[in-house]
Amino acid sequence: MLLVRRAVQTAVRTNHYRSFSASQTHRNERKGLVLGVFEKEGEEQSLHLTETAAGFDQSVSGKLSELLKISGPALKKGKSRIFYGIHKDFPCVAVVGLGKGNEGVCGAENWDTTKENVRQAVSAGCRLLQDLEVNHVEVDGCGDAQSAAEGAALGLFHYDQLKSKKKTKVTTQLHGSSDTAAWEKGVTYAEGQNLARLLMEAPANHVTPTAFANTIEEKLAPHAEWVTINKRTKAWVEEQQMGAFLSVSRGSEEPPVFLEIHYNGSPDSKQPPLLLVGKGITFDSGGISLKPSLSMDAMRADMGGAATVCSSIVTAAALKLPVNIIGLAPLCENMPSGKATKPGDVVTAKNGKTIQVDNTDAEGRLVLADALCYGHTLNPRAIVNVATLTGAMDVALGSAATGVFTNSDWLWEQLHKASVVTGDRVWRMPLFQHYTRQVTDSQLADLNNIGKYSRSGGACTAAAFLREFVTAPHWAHLDIAGVMSNKDEVPYLRKGMSGRPTRTLVEFAAGLAHKGM
């Protein structure tokens, strides 16, 4: 039996591969198929085909089941196996392990395990086929077509726009299911996150404040009926007396842009809008408080808050969510120069509060302070700001979850509920007066931008600083510094900038739309 198994494995992985590679010139032979299998309860070596996989197996007279049995041990969760030449329409078929099919929401992990398993498995299968230069992949919905679509689209994304040699571009579609609406919804969710990844990954000389604003305007152009965009200039920012924002932009030759987006998905509604505010530092050198050169290149993604906020609004518009959303993105570079803000300088925010800037690398809270002040004039129902704000957040939670600081139990519950669905988790952090006292104890001004003890509880003191510019009863600050990039922590994202938590913001907005704000 062992010899038979080895012979089959050789045929599966070698001979059919040669015939597949030799036929690359024929487009209809560059199609691939991803099918899922579940682990059977209590049967370690046994698998249970999904409904779609079972139908495929029947169409090939049970050949798939036979090959799965003799080609190796049972497929574990997230693992994949590829077969060649078993169906005339699909020269290669990737079979992926989905784990147990009924795991559902896990209280310990704070996510829907079944959905995460589908995303991970489908991503692995699609990538395997992409590496074989397959350019069209049909995907088993695996009982959750939206999660399958998210896994496929997120897993295939790769930033190679500036390379001569690019990965094979793969189109995907749902196979063997009528749940196309859920599939298309999943594709839209994933494309939103991929837009944020695209913006965050691109070099800072390509994504300047002006280029960022123009890109978002272009992405929202198909939805012009429901969207109004204002790209505010430096002159407007000065008129608004946003001294904190201006103090950050002073050291750069690139002009600042204050991007304001109004999505009117429910124009007849009397409910006030949801306000999303994103930190938009398109490159952060640290200013005069210069960062170490090692890994400074990653600071091209310090506009991750603005990228996720704006991408979530693009997604909401594509989904035609019946909710009104306003997005604000204060965009600028933080650079050292003769005009740059110096440590110890005092600046005045839009609300009149003075700020002693003891560290120019704590600039995100300065641009957000003025944006939050302006946002209150728009009478929002709730305010959510998103920012790659502190290295301390990465130390606290790593890449497992976005840290959430909020004054509203209701808002926390909505964000947490959304994150369980998306698998892009959030975790609540404290807003104690203990931290507020540290930022209000300033020698020269009303506030200090780094607090009394700069290294202790840095994420918490940053949140406390922002709270000084908030009067709304429903406000949340999302610190996404820890989830900014991905190495291998999220299996269905490649290494690079993550675009998190775009899908959670979209799911959150969708929840408000369906319940009414």
> Looking at the annotation, which residues are catalytic?
291, 365
Distance CA 49, CA 64 (A): 10
For residue 273 the two structure tokens come to: 């809008």
Helix, strand, or coil (residue 457): coil
Distance CA 481, CA 402 (A): 8
Give, as one character, the DSSP assignment of residue 83: E
Cβ–Cβ < 8 Å for 389, 449: no
State the amino acid at position 371 in one-letter form: A
Angle formed at CA 364 by CA 234 and CA 246, multiple of 5 degrees: 25
For residue 334, CA distances in Å to 280, 320, 372 come to 10, 35, 19
| Best CA proximity match to 480, nearest among 379, 364, 367, 341 | 364
Q: 24-48 burial by CB neighbour count: b if 16+ within 10 A, else e? A: eeeeebbbbbbbbbbbeeeeeeebb
| Best CA proximity match to 264, nearest among 327, 171, 337, 180 | 327
Helices (H), 168-288: 180-201, 209-220, 234-239, 243-249
For residue 77 the two structure tokens come to: 């969760």
Helices (H), 331-472: 364-376, 391-397, 409-422, 433-440, 458-467
Distance CA 360, CA 344 (A): 9
For residue 322 the two structure tokens come to: 């019946």
Cβ–Cβ < 8 Å for 295, 357: no
For residue 189 the two structure tokens come to: 């969710």
CB neighbourhood size of 267 (10 A): 9
User: Residue 399's beta-bridge partner residues?
Assistant: none
Dihedral sign (CA 506, 327, 395, 193): positive
